[in-house]
Amino acid sequence: MPHFPWEQYGITGLVIGVLFIFLYRMLTWVMKWIDKSSEQHGKEREAWAKILEALNQSIQLHNQGSIEARKTTEEAHKYQREEHKEMITLLSNMNGRE
């Protein structure tokens, strides 16, 4: 009968060998899972970057609109002040005060 080198370790060697094989398989599975997870995280980051870029553009458009609205409001207030000054002078002339 042939003599195999693993026979000298007996059942302990068999259990340790099985544990090493199990550990190796588990580590390869974990590494594959980490790679897959990293790819998913990369895709998610790209999607969030696009969303944030669109949000930033929206905020910039809102700011530009706000600045333009403020400018038109300032112009309208200047016009109203001039009108009120004219009305005050006109009313003071009507009342006999100059």
For residues 49 and 17, the model is more confident at 49
Checking if the pLDDT of 8 tops 60, the result is: yes
Q: Give percent of the chain with pLDDT exceeding 90.
A: 66
Residue 94, token pair as written in the block: 């009507």
Query: How many angstroms separate the Cα of 40 from the Cα of each of 8, 26, 47?
Result: 48, 21, 11
pLDDT (tens digit, 9 = 90+) per residue, 65-80? Answer: 999 999 999 999 999 9
- 39 phi/psi in degrees, rounded to 5: -60, -45
Domain boundaries, the chain: 51-98
Q: How far apart are alpha carbons 21 and 35 in whole angstroms?
A: 21
